[in-house]
């Protein structure tokens, strides 16, 4: 399959990108903007249609702007958006209009099957899920993405282990994560490629979640193989909030979000948010986990057509961890399930971000977006996976640490044109990202005391990219074709050997094709295909003299979207993904060992149902068969790759008064090693919440693991030796971190 992908996609790309049509458009073009009437927040993906011809429609962009070709300049427009009251606007004699939507209860009827970009529907679904189930942690944010599971195994401070579409993504190798277009992932990270620590995000600042599975998106680059997730924060907020929370295990959280400019928000707005977290955790050895976040955002309308958005954030976290524990130590009574072999694990991390966006809309229906960002990052982690296997005296604790600066710039031009019944939306983007990492270190330690360096060096990694994407819409057809070019350059200074290894560089071209056909307002089918990639670690690239720099991924989706009734939404997709090179967990021993080619095939099901104006249900099912290629059958299991997962819940939503819900998440048993002789145990957990909301305050309870299930959160097949075991002996078995038992927390929020 891989062999024919590039030729097919490049041929189609060349044909469509050079298509020229000269049909004259005699219809009226209406331009405008859709905003929240209260907060003045621009509404992305709002639906605007001609009221007497709803098949004539469009969706708003990230700044709330839209352009619609109507058959009569005296027509009315109908605007709708999830969580807002629909409104009709008379456009007679108006060239540029502003549509203000009043907030209202979420309603599944507002999710409409349109011949517009399929991806907006999933962002709308995420908007509903976020409204029904408000979150208070980045783990809960990630879990809102259908099919995505996370596991924490280092006292709450380490980036979560991520699972999606049959991948154990480790901490981010095969998923691209971003916030407001700024990357979260860290390439060539001291702990693992693509390390995506999203803990600097304050959950309440997140307005929506854009996500997609597979390598089908031209605007997504490195690490976008299993999929991508982009969190977007509010531009404006409608009210200030102060909130306090307290729960089991000496857990506390304080949040404040303050609206700094309450007047003339169409001209400028600003808010600041901050949170403080502390928890001892459920383990016997206290985690002493603490985290501090602050985030600020400012918006300025420089002119009616030019918008500036600036944000900045600071994040600091420290914690202790009980680490992964071997099964035998629990079974023979050496330690408790919530005990520890090496309680000196843990670490600290800091991140400081600045993000600047300037967008301009030209009169000829062209938009130009520019983004520049900077991050300062500091990281130190102490871990002990093998105990006394390698050093029978001092044990095997390691310290991984680094500091880095990240610079980036993105620019995108979007052009919309119409030729009779044909509409063409063209995007042209380019940019770069540069990571300068200093003293990336792997050291041998004992109880956080330095013994010796194993690896130490400076890493420089640059990624330059450009892409073009064209979306052809005619009648019921939508054809989206794109191609992306990436060039990556790698440099490594080995400080232990005082050696500047020869730099390496390589480029890759990634074609994409998405075809969609809308049968009617109830049925839509699509096929997606594309090539993506994940880069290898710089230290591996230069050591291997440029071999296996950019292993590619080739994928295809065949799906159908159904809206048989106004209160039911279904998406079913069968998919296939081939990966040229897999990265797997190898014990953080300083050697990154790619494991060869893999393939995955599966089926994803997303379902949403609304019983009445207050009661909602959702469910997601994911079935995957992940296998290694060119490996003997029975030895071809991919360690920790999920095969069956499901999430869902039942939620009661009311603007005022009582709200709440029950949700579950399920993951089946799966192979922990290549021959499935060790099993990573599955689990089913049920969480719940209940809140009472009034205009000026809200009180609530949140419960996790209501049934108090004994479950393993992170699990690995690890070779280790305990102190009392014979020197030279070892045991390979399941090591795990225990999942949180029943947990309850209360909150009080005040609005003003």
Q: What is the mean pLDDT of residues 86-91?
A: 86
Looking at residue 593, its pLDDT comes to 57
Domains and CATH numbers, the chain: 5-116 (2.60.40.1120), 121-397+408-751 (2.40.170.20)
Looking at residue 183, its pLDDT comes to 97
- List phi, psi (to 5°) of 205: -85, -10
Strand arrangement of the beta sheet that strand 65-70 belongs to? 65-70, 28-36, 96-101
Helices and strands (H, E) in the chain, number of each type:
5, 43
Return the exposure string of 501-525: e unless at least 16 CB atoms fall within 10 Å of the residue's CB, then b: beebebebebbbbbbbebeeeeebe
Sign of CA dihedral 666, 668, 669, 673: negative
| Cα(192)–Cα(585) distance, integer angstroms | 9
Segment 563-584, tens digit of pLDDT? 999 999 999 999 999 999 887 5
Segment 43-71, tens digit of pLDDT? 888 888 887 766 677 888 878 888 887 77
Return the exposure string of 24-47: e unless at least 16 CB atoms fall within 10 Å of the residue's CB, then b: eeeeeebebbbbbeebbbbbbbbb
Looking at residue 118, its pLDDT comes to 55
Looking at residue 674, its pLDDT comes to 95
Residue 577 contacts residue 554 (beta carbons within 8 Å): yes
Segment 4-45, tens digit of pLDDT? 444 544 444 444 444 433 333 446 778 888 999 888 888 888
Report whether pLDDT(499) > 60: yes
The pTM of the whole model exceeds 0.85: yes
Q: What is the mean pLDDT of residues 375-395?
A: 96
Q: What is the mean pLDDT of residues 360-380?
A: 94
Segment 455-485, tens digit of pLDDT? 999 999 999 999 999 999 998 999 999 999 9
Segment 302-323, tens digit of pLDDT? 998 899 999 999 999 999 999 9
- List phi, psi (to 5°) of 299: -125, 140
Beta strands in 611-730 (DSSP E): 615-628, 644-652, 657-667, 670-671, 679-680, 683-693, 697-704, 712-720
- Report CA 250 to chain centroid distance, whole Å: 30
Who's near 687: CB < 8 A, 6+ residues apart? 662, 663, 664, 665, 702, 703, 704, 705, 706
Residue that wins the pLDDT comparison between 123 and 280: 280
| Cα(257)–Cα(336) distance, integer angstroms | 41
């Amino acid at each position: 399959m891989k062999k024919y992908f590039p030729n097919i996609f490049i041929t189609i790309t060349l044909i469509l990108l050079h298509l020229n049509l000269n049909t004259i458009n005699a219809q009226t073009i209406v331009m405008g903007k859709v905003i929240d009437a209260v907060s003045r927040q621009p509404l992305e993906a709002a639906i605007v249609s001609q009221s007497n011809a709803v098949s004539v429609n469009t969706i708003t962009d990230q700044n709330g702007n839209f352009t619609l070709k109507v058959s009569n300049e005296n027509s009315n427009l109908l605007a709708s958006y999830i969580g807002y009251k629909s409104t009709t606007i008379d456009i007679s004699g108006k060239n540029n209009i502003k549509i203000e939507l009043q907030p209202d209860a979420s309603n599944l009827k507002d999710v409409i099957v349109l011949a517009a970009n399929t991806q907006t529907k999933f962002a709308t679904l995420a908007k509903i899920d976020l409204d029904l189930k408000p979150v208070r942690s980045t783990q809960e944010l990630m879990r809102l993405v259908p099919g995505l599971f996370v596991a924490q195994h280092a006292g709450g401070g380490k980036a979560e282990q991520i699972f999606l579409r049959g991948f154990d993504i480790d901490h981010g190798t095969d998923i691209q994560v971003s916030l407001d277009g700024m990357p979260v992932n860290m390439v060539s990270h001291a702990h693992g490629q693509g390390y995506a620590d999203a803990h600097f995000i304050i959950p309440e600042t997140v307005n929506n979640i854009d996500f997609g599975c597979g390598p089908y998106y031209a605007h997504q680059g490195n690490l976008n193989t299993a999929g991508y997730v982009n969190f977007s924060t509010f531009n404006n907020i409608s009210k200030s909030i102060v909130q306090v929370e307290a729960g089991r295990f000496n857990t506390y959280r304080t949040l404040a979000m303050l609206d700094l400019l309450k007047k003339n928000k169409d001209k400028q707005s600003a808010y600041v948010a901050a949170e403080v977290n502390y928890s001892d955790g459920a383990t016997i050895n206290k985690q002493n986990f603490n985290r501090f976040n602050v985030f600020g955002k400012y918006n300025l309308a420089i002119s009616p057509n030019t918008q500036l958005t600036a944000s900045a954030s600071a994040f600091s976290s420290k914690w202790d961890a009980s680490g992964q524990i071997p099964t035998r130590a629990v079974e023979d009574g050496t330690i408790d399930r919530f005990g520890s072999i090496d309680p000196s694990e843990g670490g600290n991390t800091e991140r400081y971000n600045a993000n600047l966006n300037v967008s301009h809309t030209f009169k000829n229906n062209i938009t130009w977006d520019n983004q520049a960002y900077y991050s300062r990052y500091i990281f130190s982690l102490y871990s002990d996976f093998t105990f006394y296997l390698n050093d029978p005296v001092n044990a095997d604790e390691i310290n991984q640490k680094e500091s880095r600066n990240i610079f980036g710039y993105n620019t995108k031009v979007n052009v919309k044109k119409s030729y009779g019944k044909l509409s063409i939306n063209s995007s042209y983007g380019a940019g770069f990202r540069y990571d300068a990492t200093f003293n990336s270190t792997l050291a041998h330690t004992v109880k956080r005391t330095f013994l010796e360096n194993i690896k130490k060096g400076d890493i420089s990694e640059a990624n330059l990219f450009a892409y073009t994407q064209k979306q052809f819409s005619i009648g019921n057809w939508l054809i989206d074709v794109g191609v992306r070019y990436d060039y990556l350059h790698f440099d490594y200074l080995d400080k232990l050997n005082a050696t500047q290894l020869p730099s390496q560089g390589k480029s890759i071209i990634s074609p994409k094709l998405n075809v969609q056909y809308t049968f009617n307002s109830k049925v839509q089918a699509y096929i997606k295909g594309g090539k993506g990639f994940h880069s290898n670690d710089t230290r591996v690239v230069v050591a291997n003299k440029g071999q296996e720099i950019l292993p590619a991924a080739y994928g295809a989706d065949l799906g159908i979207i159904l809206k048989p009734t106004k209160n039911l939404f279904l998406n079913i997709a069968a998919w296939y993904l081939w990966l040229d090179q897999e990265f797997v967990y190898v014990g953080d021993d300083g050697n990154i060992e790619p494991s060869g080619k893999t393939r995955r095939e599966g089926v994803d099901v997303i379902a949403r149902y609304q019983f009445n104006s207050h009661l909602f249900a959702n469910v997601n099912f994911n079935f995957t068969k992940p296998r290694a290629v060119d490996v003997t059958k029975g030895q071809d299991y991919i360690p920790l790759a999920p095969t069956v997962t499901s999430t869902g819940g039942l939620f009661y939503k009311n603007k005022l008064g009582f709200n709440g819900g029950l949700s579950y998440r399920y993951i089946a048993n799966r192979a922990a090693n290549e021959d499935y002789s060790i099993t990573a145990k599955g689990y089913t957990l049920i969480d719940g919440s209940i809140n009472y909301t009034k205009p000026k305050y809200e009180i609530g309870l949140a419960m996790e693991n209501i049934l108090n299930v004994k479950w393993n959160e992170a699990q690995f097949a690890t070779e280790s030796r305990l102190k009392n075991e014979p020197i030279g002996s070892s045991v390979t078995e399941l090591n795990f971190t225990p999942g949180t038992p029943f947990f309850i927390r209360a909150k009080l929020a005040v609005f003003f």
